[in-house]
Structure 1
Amino acid sequence: MSTPAQEQVFGRAPSGPTAARAEGLTKAYGSGETQVLALDSVDAEIARGRFTAIMGPSGSGKSTLMHCLAGLDNVTRGQVWIGEHEITSLNERELTRLRRDKVGFVFQSFNLLPTLTAGENITLPMDIAGRKPDQEWVDTVIDTLGLRDRLRHRPAQLSGGQQQRVACARALASRPELIFADEPTGNLDSRSGEEVLAFLRRAVDELHQTVVMVTHDPGAAARADLVLFLADGRIVDEMPNPTAEAVLDRMKRFDRIRET
Structure 2
Amino acid sequence: MIDRSQIFRSSARGVHVTFPATAVHTGRAAARATSLNKVYGEGETRVVALDNVSVTFPQGEFTAIMGPSGSGKSTLMHCMAGLDTVTSGSSTIGDTELVGLKDKQLTQLRRDHIGFIFQAFNLLPTLTALENITLPMDIAGRKADKAWLDRVVDTVGLSGRLSHRPSQLSGGQQQRVACARALASKPDIVFADEPTGNLDSRSGAEILSFLRNSVRELGQTVVMVTHDPVAASYADRVVFLADGRIVDELHQPTADTVLDRMRRFDAKGRTS
The answer to whether the superposition gives a TM-score over 0.5 is yes
What is the DSSP-based 3-state SS (H/G/I as helix, E as strand, rest coil) of the residue aligned with 1:131?
coil
Q: Residues of 2 paired with 1:64 and 1:166: CA distance?
A: 25
What does 1:14-29 correspond to in 2, within 5 Å? 16-29=27-40
Q: Note the alpha carbon deviations across 1:230-255, whole angstroms, 9 max, x for none.
A: 00000011101111100000111121
How do 1:28-47 and structure 2 match up within 5 A? 28-47=39-58
Q: Give the equivalent residue in structure 1 for 2:129.
A: 118
2 CA distance for matches of 1:14 and 1:48? Answer: 6
**Matching residue of 2:204:** 193
User: How far does the alpha carbon of each residue in 1:127-158 deviate from its partner, in whole angstroms, 9 at most, with x for none?
Assistant: 00000100110000001111011111110110
Q: Secondary structure at the match of 1:116?
A: coil
Structure 1 residue matching 2:160: 3-state secondary structure: helix
1:170 aligns with 2:181: yes
Separation of aligned partners in 1, 2:265 and 2:129 = 41
DSSP 3-state at the match of 1:227 = strand
Unaligned stretches of 5+ residues in structure 1: 1-12
Aligned to 1:149: 160
Partner residue, 2:230: 219
The corresponding residue for 1:7 is: none
Q: Deviations over 1:3-52 (max 9, x none)?
A: xxxxxxxxxx9971100001110011101122000000101110111000
Structure 1 stretches of 4+ moved >6 Å: none
Matches within 5 A, 1:220-235: 220-235=231-246
Partner of 1:5: none
Letter in 1 for 2:67: G
Matched AA of 1:224: A
Local SS of the residue matching 1:73: coil
Is 2:250 the counterpart of 1:239?
yes
Q: 8 Å contact 2:114–2:187 — kept in the other structure?
A: yes
Q: Work out whether residues 229 and 237 of structure 1, in 8 Å CA contact, stay in contact via their aligned partners in 2.
A: yes
| 2:72 aligned partner | 61
Question: For 1:207 and 1:14, how far apart are their aligned partners in 2?
Answer: 12
CA RMSD, Structure 1 to Structure 2 (Å):
1.1
Q: Number of aligned residue pairs: give it.
A: 248
Superimposed CA distance per residue, residues 106-137 of structure 1 (whole angstroms, 9 cap, x where no aligned partner): 00100000110001000000000000100110
Relative to structure 1, is the Cα distance of residues 23 and 142 closer, same or farther in structure 2, using a 3 angstrom cutoff? same
Matched-pair identity in %: 69
Counterpart CA distance in 2 for 1:144 and 1:67 is: 27
Alpha-carbon distance between aligned partners in 2 of 1:89 and 1:243, rounded to the nearest angstrom: 39
Write out aligned runs for 1:67-146 (5 A): 67-146=78-157
Give the AA of the match of 1:136: A
Taking the aligned partners of 1:224 and 1:54, their CA distance within structure 2 comes to 10
**Secondary structure of 2:143 counterpart:** coil
Q: Is the Cα–Cα contact under 8 Å of residues 75 and 88 in structure 1 kept in the other structure?
A: yes
TM-score, scaled relative to structure 2: 0.90
Aligned AA for 2:244?
G
Which AA in structure 2 matches 1:166? V
Contact 1:52 1:227 in 2 (8 A): yes
State the distance in 2 between where 1:89 and 1:29 align: 19
Structure 2 stretches of 5 or more lacking a match?
1-23
In the TM superposition, what whole-angstrom CA distance separates every residue of 1:146-201 from its partner, at most 9, and x where no partner exists? 10111111101100000000000000000100000000000000000000000000
Q: TM-score under structure 1 normalisation? A: 0.94
